[in-house]
A and B are shown apart, each in its own frame.
Chain A
């Protein structure tokens, strides 16, 4: 039987942003197997590695504060977990820290993103001003019962807009969690739909995952 659960924080960047969530789960399972770390497998007819991810990351997005939980069969120091796992992880995925879980994944309420829009600065600014002034942002969202229209205005906060030589850098705060989760690309699609503005090139990076009190998920 396992002795404890450990939460491992990792980053996903570079070529690794194209690994889908499903593929990442498989890659992690294999990485644990290669690492030789004493991790717990579920019992039963098809035993598999017990591994849960706090909040899936969309394909194409960089993640700096991703986390997953596994269970240990023996005591292993946090440093050793990190070093052994890093030796077994593919390019672009890196374990950063490990420790005992403090919060439950269901406490997650918000996620913060850096969104870099390569565009003509004035055009981007104008579009964003119109966007922020809207009372409602009705958006088509895929749900279990097909497409439905939801107002994403309450799920979205633009924390800052910074000018850069080749465009704009936004800090977005989006609702996140198991129940309600707003993918920033959906917000950007709405921006394009409503204002007609489209960046030449967009990169997105998730840099914080927060609870209701805006504390970092630990």
Chain B
């Protein structure tokens, strides 16, 4: 596409800067013969995709090679899609404005299940066949990665390859394979066959799935030399792995607009509802010196005025205090703020508090996740009521007057007592505030309870559990409201309209491909956005496919059932999940890995043990 054509498109849309690129840090290369062209697609709007750290890492990593040019692709918003369709402009990559259809490799990062129809939408907008078997040329090759690649079965018919685990090393191997394939003119079956030999690459079309009469899976059998089990890739040493020295700096105000440094991968906690906590094991830290260096590089190259620390649980990072000291040495002088997301309640010390208050002050948020001790033990959120009140006391002493508490509803074994417990806990925080003579003078407190619906995910101890019914969840929401007595407490729901579809897709098998396609053909796209989600389209798509969402979402699964993702190995063993599930049912907790290895199995992948430096 020429710039003139782009101008014409952009005159018809809101927020044209989403589609123009030209930001500082965007990589524009001169095409050379044999250069591999890689379109990295984030199946959501620019503002969401550009906030994502993984994409920044893999973009920089791919572009450090002279023989690869990686460009970005985001979803057009509705107005842009209409304009493109009317003008006959196919999906294009931001940097070159070239059609995605002409690229060699098309990568999608799958961050959440509700992006699946958007993957189909983007393939279709690019002018490509949606089903992998109808794309008979070897290139463009369609590969997916990201957390939802851990169960890619609902997309199995549409994609060529799946990259399991961390992408830095395996993407290089994949680029090399594609370059060789193009040079030697391999056909598609040969490309797929060879790709399946790369550790961490899963080729869904090389596996046959059979089903039992009750609809559960009977066997998953590889063909043509594909491995019986594909293990995810992990980076062993985070201090030597590539990390970008530069980010693309968007013009638009995006969701997370700052320099981000990575503290560690994996999580020592083992909260039983949390898929990320298990998917990213084993635990590997970056030394605080590396993190401090990454932060400095990024601030100098981007001009950002904020550094975010990224990990699943910031306050569990062993080097946090020395890191903050070394950052605070120069950030204040340079007018740079620090933001510390994902703080936990139980190790929020006073000295950490002091450092955080030197950092930008906003409301504090914590996640007790459940209202009673019993239920917190079931989900292995190893915190007590005392932890919550102690932390709030520290925060109030530090001048905070607003606290946000995150909870989940619909957790396994949950009763109305647990729901009431949420309101009671919030009330205790309010009472605590007014019992403190040292509280900030003349200000009142505000406690916001934010409640999300629990969705059971694969690779967690709750992968066996049914999802709560919509009716039960609605009842519980009403009941919670009736339990709240103070005006200082507000309740917000993270609504649940998408949660049945999400739950079905999360633990779905490849028969759901038909449902995803059906929903797409009925106009579903960008399902993660409330104003786009079409519940009826999904309902009809399920009916048309003759499948019941409840079979996937609301069925209790036995320990010996073959799961659709059983041939994909993310480190933590099913035996461990079974053990954890049994403990959950007895409300027995498992301590943090920092007190000793709990034997989850993930350390096999690094050939050693997890460690905290």
Contacts and interface: CB of A to CB of B under 8 A. Distances in A.
Interface of A: 14-16, 18-20, 22-24, 26-27, 29-34, 41, 47-49, 59-60, 88-92, 201, 203
Contacts of B17: 18-20, 23
B303 interface: yes
Contacts of B172: none
29 contacts: A14-B3, A15-B20, A15-B21, A18-B10, A18-B20, A19-B17, A19-B251, A20-B17, A20-B251, A23-B17, A23-B251, A23-B252, A23-B253, A24-B251, A27-B24, A29-B305, A30-B302, A30-B303, A31-B24, A32-B303, A33-B304, A33-B305, A34-B24, A34-B303, A49-B335, A60-B11, A90-B249, A201-B7, A203-B7
Nearest to A45: B361
Contact of B253 (A26, A31, A90, A203): A26
Q: Which of B20, B22, B251, B335 is packed against the most chain A CB atoms within 10 Å? A: B251
Pairs A-B, 3 closest by C-beta atoms:
A30-B303, A33-B303, A15-B22
B335 A88 contact: no
Given A23-B17, A27-B251, A14 B301 contact: no
Contacts of B303: 29-34, 88
A24 to B, nearest CB: 8
B2 to A, nearest CB: 12
Given A15-B20, A24-B251, 6 more contacts: A26-B251, A27-B24, A30-B304, A33-B304, A33-B305, A59-B16
Contacts of A29: 303, 305
B137 interface: no
A205 to B, nearest CB: 13
Interface string B472-486: 000000000000000
Contacts of B253: 22-23, 26
B249 to A, nearest CB: 6
B289 interface: no
Contacts of A15: 3, 20-22
B224 interface: no
A70 to B, nearest CB: 14
Contacts, number: 69
B23 interface: yes
Interface in B212-261: 249, 251-253
Q: Which of B17, B23, B302 is packed against the most chain A CB atoms within 10 Å? A: B17
Contacts of A22: 253
A14 B24 contact: no
A41 B335 contact: yes
B358 to A, nearest CB: 12
B23 A90 contact: yes
B534 to A, nearest CB: 31
Contacts of A27: 24, 249, 251
Q: Which of A33, A59, A88 is packed against the most chain B CB atoms within 10 Å? A: A33
Interface of B: 3, 7-8, 10-11, 16-17, 20-24, 249, 251-253, 300-305, 334-335
Contacts of A88: 24, 303
B455 to A, nearest CB: 36
Contact of B16 (A18, A24, A30, A49): A18
Nearest to B337: A46
Nearest to A49: B335
A16 B24 CA distance: 11
Contacts of A20: 17, 251
A29 B249 CA distance: 12
Contacts of B20: 15, 18
Contacts of B23: 90
A16 B8 contact: no
Given A14-B3, A15-B3, A59-B16, A34 B301 contact: yes
Given A27-B251, A60-B16, A34 B22 contact: no
Given A30-B249, A33-B303, A34-B301, A16 B22 contact: yes
A69 B61 CA distance: 38
A11 B605 CA distance: 54
Contacts of A201: 7-8, 11
Nearest to A23: B251
Contacts of A47: 335
Contacts of B16: 18, 59-60
Nearest to A20: B17
A15 B16 CA distance: 10
B92 to A, nearest CB: 14
Contacts of A26: 251, 253
A14 to B, nearest CB: 7
Contacts of B10: 18, 60
A22 B301 CA distance: 22
Nearest to B16: A18
B335 A48 contact: yes
Nearest to B11: A60
A48 B336 CA distance: 10
B537 to A, nearest CB: 33
A84 B245 CA distance: 20
A60 B17 CA distance: 10
Q: Which of B8, B22, B253 is packed against the most chain A CB atoms within 10 Å? A: B22
A62 to B, nearest CB: 11
Nearest to A200: B8
Nearest to A35: B303
B3 to A, nearest CB: 7
A34 B302 contact: yes
B8 A92 contact: no
Contacts of A14: 3, 22
A34 to B, nearest CB: 4
Nearest to A91: B22
Contacts of A33: 303-305, 334
A162 B252 CA distance: 37
Contact of A92 (B22, B252, B300, B335): B22
Nearest to A15: B22
Contacts of A32: 303
A12 to B, nearest CB: 11
Q: Which of A15, A16, A24, A30 is packed against the most chain B CB atoms within 10 Å? A: A15
B324 to A, nearest CB: 20
A156 B93 CA distance: 41
Contacts of B304: 30, 33
A32 B20 CA distance: 22
A18 B7 CA distance: 9
A33 B300 CA distance: 8
Nearest to B10: A18
A17 B56 CA distance: 25
Contacts of A203: 7
A203 B11 CA distance: 10
A201 B21 CA distance: 22
